[in-house]
Amino acid sequence: MPKKNEDLILFLIAAALYSFVVFYLPFACPELPHTLSQKIEVVIPGGASALEAAAIFEKGGVADDAQALSHAMAELGIDRAIKPGLYRLFKSTPKGVARQLANAKPEANKITLIPGSGSRALAALFDYEEGGRELFVAAMKDDGNFHSGVREYLPDSADARMIFLLPETYFVAPGKGAAAEFIKRASALWLERVGSELPKNSRKEVVLQSGILASLVEGEAKAADERPLLAGIFLSRMQKKMRLQSCASVVYAWGERGVKKRNLSYGDLKIDSPYNTYRNEGLPPSPICVPSAQSWLAALHPRKSDFLFFFAGRDGRHVFSKSYEEHLRKQKELGL
């Protein structure tokens, strides 16, 4: 065979192998190692359906047909198991992308919102990323970041909006959109677990007052079964024109001045602050912390009683009294 023909055959074989590795394998066998092609990064937000995720993958250049990808995901049984996060995938056929997704482990940030957190602690959840705190503060000011069913209740104060974020652990995709995604998901969960308990046609001002009350209950309560009773006592005191005298509100007032207080003295109760419910009548002007679902439900469904006073015992539970004299006597008996 002439040498020219041999060279041509070798060239054609090499070209065929190159085309097979570079163009065919990424589509037909996405699970094989890829040394000549590059992975594409795509971020899937929390709560995205299979079709929505497929559309995002199509837009990102991973797949060419979102509808076909959605069907392929359903065939593999992963259409309801797509997790939020950052995916790195090779471009492939719909079935090829679906096979990659079946084994993919997306990168996601774990954010745990703890009941009783204040606005500063809430923003600090995003300190893991440079500028994350500022992005969160800005995101809280944007009504569009909250679930549509929550927006009608949002107060003007961005800090006060924290009551519409339900404490829970969330996994959100990394990046500048993390704060907005967290707010959307946390407010959606609030609407599901708390908002559904609101009376029909609840006014914005009334919902805010319930949220402020829930934050006081959260600040005071240690035992879950006491929350409705505490909410009822606060409401009874307001009806009788009595000051609420919530120690949690005083702790918050000192915290606003950068002073952390664990145990309060009688002198601490004299702090001049609109949040000091020992000096001011009614509820504080805004929430003092993020209430749990239990505290919210306690505020919405308070337990009526004849109690008007309470104090925390050494075991963390509260001791309740119907009169101030009884209150003082029980404190003396317990050496408090």
Q: Are strands 109-112 and 169-172 parallel, antiparallel or unpaired?
A: antiparallel
Within 8 A by CB and 6+ apart from 335, the residues are none
Ramachandran assignment for 98, one of left (phi > 0), alpha (psi -120 to 50 degrees), beta (any other)? alpha
Tell me the pLDDT tens digit for each residue of 306-336.
999 999 888 889 999 999 999 999 999 988 7
pLDDT bracket for residue 128 (50, 70, 90): confident
Q: 266 by DSSP, 3-state: which?
A: coil
Cα(324)–Cα(308) distance, rounded to whole angstroms? 8
Q: Which amino acid is at 28?
A: A
Average pLDDT over residues 82-107: 90
Whether residue 126 is predicted with pLDDT greater than 60 in this model: the reply is yes
Cα(292)–Cα(284) distance, rounded to whole angstroms? 18
Tokens of 323: 């009169």
Mean pLDDT over the full length of the chain: 90
Domain extent listing, the chain: 3-103, 109-193, 209-305
Average pLDDT over residues 122-141: 93
Beta partners for residue 87, in sequence order: 42
Cα angle: 133, vertex 60, 94; to 5 degrees: 135
Beta partners for residue 24, in sequence order: none
Tell me the pLDDT tens digit for each residue of 236-285.
999 999 999 999 999 999 999 999 998 899 999 999 999 999 999 999 99
Q: What is the CATH number of domain 3-103?
A: 3.30.1490.480
Tokens of 4: 């020219």
Cα(321)–Cα(229) distance, rounded to whole angstroms? 12
| pTM (two decimals) | 0.78
Tell me the pLDDT tens digit for each residue of 200-250.
899 999 999 999 999 999 999 989 999 999 999 999 999 999 999 999 999
Contact 284, 275 (CB under 8 A): yes
**What is the predicted pLDDT for the residue at 20?**
59
Tell me the pLDDT tens digit for each residue of 10-56.
667 766 676 655 555 555 555 444 444 688 989 888 778 999 999 99
